[in-house]
Structure 1
Amino acid sequence: MAGEISNAQQIVIPSRTRVWLAPVGTEAPTDATVTMPTGWFSVGLTSEDSLKFNEEPQFEQVRSAQSDFPSRTFQTSDSATVEVDLQQWSGANFKAVFGGGSISEITPTGGTGTPPKQYRFTPPRIGGRTEVAAVIEIIDGAKSYRYVMPRTMQMEGVSTDLQKSKEAVLPLRLAVQGGDEADAWYVLTNDPAFAPAA
């Protein structure tokens, strides 16, 4: 029938992806294609197959002597994470991967002439990690999707392989945070396949 969306049109191939970060409380995008609001920065280049969004609900089951199957199953908690390997080394990306920290300009000593500027990155101490807002952007032709996460936190250690045969990446591993009766995460899209059934 005219106007229907074929099964093949509902296959998504993420030909372009982007990851955006911002301080918690920064204005979120209002749709899937509008320019990102002021305050968001792109983490830049990421490795080809590293971007993943994981949603993992947790359940408990009630078992009864009269059944081999659970009598009731109920959800106890929810969690969601983002994984991506950043190829670009920058101060903003270091702070994102290490969960905060500070960067200061330092004055090199020794040598002659005027040395180039240098900088010192100090990771956060225990209790000093900061939350960030995150958006994953996925583009497949004319279809765009944005996973919006108002609060996330880097909650894994950082392991960086330093080999001369490949680029050294920064592993960003964000855990979605919730609270305040707000949505912990949601998706914005212009994909017509998401239109509510009439």
Structure 2
Amino acid sequence: MAGESANNNEIVIPAITRIYMAPVGTAAPADATSPMPAALRNVGLTTEDSLKFTTEPNFEQVRSAQSSYPTRTFQTTDAATIEVDLQQWSGENFKAVYGGGEITTVTVTGPPAATHYKFTPPKIGSRTEVMAVVEVVDGGKHYRFVIPRCMQMEGVSKDLAKTKEAVLPLRLAIQGGDELDAFYVLTDDPAFAPAA
């Protein structure tokens, strides 16, 4: 296009990615590089190539006898999802991938006496919405995808093979609302500067 030139500085290689989660309503990071608010919990290690952020707008088309092409196209809905495979098994990560649940302590009387834990997934109708932040770092460029409300909305399938690590599949569907953005991106990348 006229006035544009090829610029390899605008290629992004996601060298480091991190996922943070917190209860809905938690304060979001103010910018792309300031320390992450303490209430946002880092889910830890994830597999190298599993992180995906997908948007899926849906459209309807009006057909008319006078045209072989649609005479009008309009958007009906928006949808977006985050997918990533968590490598770290913990109570909080189990709650994340199952959409909530409860962890209780089980005392083993003996011998030897020990403490065990019981995880119970949420019942129908009691899944919990969460806030999420996806952080992407490419050298000196930083991006934070901020999702004020999302929910685990898929089943959980775990491969328990002895030849590789067992992962927890986190699949978050972004929720919207008229009072806030469904998601937004914070970045210090100069390529995002508004045109003068």
Per the shorter chain, which TM-score range?
Answer: over 0.9
- Equivalent position of 2:40 in the other structure: 40
Please list the CA deviations of residues 93-123 of structure 1 after superposition, one character each: whole Å capped at 9, or x if unmatched. Answer: 00000000010111114x424x231111000
Query: Residue in 1 aligned with 2:111?
Result: 112
User: Identity of counterpart residues, as a percentage?
Assistant: 68
1:135 alignment partner, one of 105, 128, 133: 133
Partner in structure 2 of residue 9 of structure 1: 9
Change (3 A) 1:190 1:62: same
Structure 2 unaligned segments of length 5 or more: list them. none
Distance in 2 between residues matched to 1:5 and 1:23, nearest whole Å: 43
Q: Could you say which residue in structure 1 is the equivalent of 2:144?
A: 146
Q: Hey, which bits of structure 1, 4+ residues long, moved more than 3 A?
A: none
Decide whether aligned partners of structure 1 residues 186 and 5 sit closer, same or farther in structure 2, where only a CA change above 3 A counts: farther
Aligned to 1:181: 179
Matches within 5 A, 1:1-198: 7-109=7-109, 111-113=110-112, 115-198=113-196
Q: Distance in 2 between matches of 1:144 and 1:137?
A: 7
Deviations, residues 50-91 of structure 1 (Å, cap 9, x unaligned): 000000100000000010000000000000000000000001
Deviations 1:167-195 (A, max 9, x none): 00000000000114210000000000000
Alpha-carbon separation, structure 1, partners of 2:10 and 2:65: 45
The amino acid across from 1:187 in the alignment is V
Displacement of 1:5 in angstroms is 9.1
Question: Partners in 1 of 2:186 and 2:5 — Cα distance?
Answer: 19
**Runs of at least 5 residues in structure 1 that lack an aligned partner in the other structure:** none
Alignment RMSD? 1.3
One-letter code of the match for 1:15?
Answer: A
Matched residue SS, 1:167: coil
- Counting matched residue pairs gives 193
TM-score by length of 1: 0.95
Find the aligned partners of 1:96 and 1:180 in 2 and give their Cα distance: 25
Closer/same/farther in 2, CA of residues 117 and 168 from structure 1, 3 Å limit = same
Shift of 1:138: 0.2
Deviations 1:123-151 (A, max 9, x none): 00000100000000000000000000000
